Structure 1
Amino acid sequence: MRYPGAWPRESGLLDGDRLLPLDQLLPLDRLVREDRVPVLTVGSNASPGQLRYKMDEFGISSPIPMVRARVTGVDVGVSAHVSRMGYVSASPVDAPGTVRELFVIWLDAEQLAVIDSSEGVPLPNGNYDRVWLPSPDVRVELPDGTALPGTHAYVNRHGVLHDGTRAPRGHPGQRPLLTELLLRSRTLRELFGVSADQFSARGTRVFAEERLVTASGLERYVRSRWTGSPGTGLSLPPPLT
């Protein structure tokens, strides 16, 4: 429900668990990184938490510059697939004349391979292709006024959802999106329920109904964890009874 995660308010340098002020680390004339690839983000790849998660999976700790840019010609649409995590993700759509504030992340070769993998680019049945969006079709203007010659972006192989007129619809956020989709589609309601919460909860219930669930073996620690252990830091108070 929190997809795409929290975006920064300003440009920054993602360094492990820290998002550092970019303008204090790089002069404005160094926003263009010749040694890195610019990637335009419209969904969770603009969330520092999601980027950190993806990099941690592969043991990559190198910093990632995240530059807030003024983008003309692209808007945020809705991917025509449900992710394995259960959310309906964002996807860039062609929108001549539309101006948006979006993030460009500058990735080295190792980082780019991680993001490519997370988007399914190397797989024949993956969800996204990485493409080059050239200027002037898409104008990306950095805070110092520099216009990039183009940028990479991830385009959904399934297409995007339309607004009823065959034009791509916008992504209003996960909860309002799921609520609207369920209101408009009887088939979706039959599959996933009548609310965004049911959309998420339905899968959990199916696991139980299909008898796919067993105990983890760690349930005995649920109550004892509250009291902590001597010598391991602060102990938590026991739960109220």
Structure 2
Amino acid sequence: MPPEEDRTLRALGLEKAPREHPLLYPGAWPRDSGLLNGDRLLPLDRLVYEDRVPVLAVGSNACPGQLRHKMAESGIITPVPMVRTRVTGVDIGVSAHVSRMGYVSNSPVRAPETVRELFVLWLDARQLAVIDASEGVPRPDGNFHRAWLPAPDVRVELADGSTLPGAYAYVNRHGVLHDGTGVPRGHPGQRALLADLLVNVPGLRELFGVSPEEFCARARADLRLCARGTRLFAEEKLVTVCGLERYVGSERYGRPGTGASSAPLPRQGRG
């Protein structure tokens, strides 16, 4: 971790939010765990926060600049612990919807043999409500459900070798894009993804233009156009399930800090 005066997001290269720079989606992720406190990423004093709930970040929620943007928009200034973990059972796919922010986002997919370095956010009640709202969880027409992914189906290992009993993740209500064989495709980065989609998805250029830049500009300006693009993915039979739908509706914890749930104590060891 850099010295105190260098812990600003700008100094760390983490300040840009994909909401404002959609072609940078999912944004820059930290190299290590840290405490997002305003415009700084500070060292953590622990890996587990018993009064908060763990939320797995597979997209821009792991970008401090994006997190800061979401929280500031709702007037939330409390720090957010971001813990780097080793996750087995989840990979990063492509959401089968066009975001009103101007990009096509990451989405978790079931991948039993895959191991990924991903961040777990430990959120309090207000922070969780902000992230839920940003993912459309409370809305019947929202893009994501929040689902509890339990161990051992999904293994979330901390730096000390202990594991969590699970974590929440945002599962896309529209499904994910597949690779042509029915298998969820990986997300190659926003610019490469949009360039590929514009070439290979019939009708997409008529809606969003011929370049990734034009795609982003048009999507950000028109909610109805985003909805049309989302329908086009389904109409062209490009959509498959993510494999995590079975967990939608599951609840491991109540609202953090209400006493409605037991603390998410980690499991020790690697067995």
Equivalent residue for 1:13? 35
Among residues 95, 118, 127, which one is paired with 1:102 in the alignment?
Answer: 118
Q: Post-superposition shift, 1:202?
A: 4.6
Q: Please give the alpha-carbon distance, in whole angstroms, between the structure 2 residues aligned to 1:134 and 1:146.
A: 15
SS of residue paired to 2:24: coil
Q: Please give the alpha-carbon distance, in whole angstroms, between the structure 1 residues aligned to 2:103 and 2:217.
A: 12
Which deviations, in whole Å up to 9, do the C-alpha atoms of 1:82-129 show, x marking residues without a partner? 011110011100011100000000001111011111111111111110
SS of residue paired to 1:88: coil
SS of residue paired to 1:8: coil
CA gap of 1:122–1:203, structure 2 versus 1, over 3 A, is closer
Among residues 188, 191, 196, which one is paired with 1:172 in the alignment?
Answer: 188
Q: Compute the RMSD of aligned alpha carbons.
A: 1.5
Equivalent residue for 2:83? 67
Equivalent residue for 1:228? none
2:101 corresponds to 1:79: no
Range with greater deviation from structure 2 (171-180 or 186-195): 186-195
Would you say the 8 A contact 2:101–2:219 is kept in 1? no
Alignment of 1:156-195 (within 5 A): 156-195=172-211
Alignment of 1:31-50 (within 5 A): 31-50=47-66
Between the aligned residues of both structures, percent identity stands at 75
Alignment of 1:147-162 (within 5 A): 147-162=163-178
Q: Please give the alpha-carbon distance, in whole angstroms, between the structure 2 residues aligned to 1:131 and 1:204.
A: 28
Q: Please give the alpha-carbon distance, in whole angstroms, between the structure 2 residues aligned to 1:62 and 1:205.
A: 31
Q: Please give the alpha-carbon distance, in whole angstroms, between the structure 2 residues aligned to 1:44 and 1:35.
A: 24
Q: Post-superposition shift, 1:198?
A: 2.7
Among residues 116, 135, 142, which one is paired with 2:132 in the alignment?
Answer: 116
Q: Post-superposition shift, 1:193?
A: 2.3
Q: Which has the higher contact order (CA 8 A, sep 6+)?
A: 2
**How many correspondences in the alignment?**
200
Q: Please give the alpha-carbon distance, in whole angstroms, between the structure 2 residues aligned to 1:203 and 1:126.
A: 17
Q: Post-superposition shift, 1:201?
A: 4.2
Which deviations, in whole Å up to 9, do the C-alpha atoms of 1:165-219 show, x marking residues without a partner? 111111111000001111112311222222212323456899xxxxxxxxxxxxx
CA gap of 1:193–1:16, structure 2 versus 1, over 3 A, is same
Instruction: Give the letter for the 1:2 counterpart.
Output: L
SS of residue paired to 1:67: strand
**Structure 2 regions of 5+ residues with no counterpart?**
1-22, 223-271
SS of residue paired to 2:197: helix
CA gap of 1:72–1:193, structure 2 versus 1, over 3 A, is same
Q: Please give the alpha-carbon distance, in whole angstroms, between the structure 2 residues aligned to 1:178 and 1:201.
A: 12
Among residues 129, 148, 152, which one is paired with 1:136 in the alignment?
Answer: 152
Q: Post-superposition shift, 1:59?
A: 1.1
Q: Please give the alpha-carbon distance, in whole angstroms, between the structure 2 residues aligned to 1:204 and 1:70.
A: 34
Q: Please give the alpha-carbon distance, in whole angstroms, between the structure 2 residues aligned to 1:41 and 1:47.
A: 9
Q: Please give the alpha-carbon distance, in whole angstroms, between the structure 1 residues aligned to 2:86 and 2:174.
A: 27
Q: Please give the alpha-carbon distance, in whole angstroms, between the structure 2 residues aligned to 1:189 and 1:3.
A: 20
CA gap of 1:205–1:10, structure 2 versus 1, over 3 A, is closer
**Structure 1 regions of 5+ residues with no counterpart?**
207-241
Q: Please give the alpha-carbon distance, in whole angstroms, between the structure 2 residues aligned to 1:87 and 1:75.
A: 19
Would you say the 8 A contact 2:100–2:220 is kept in 1? no
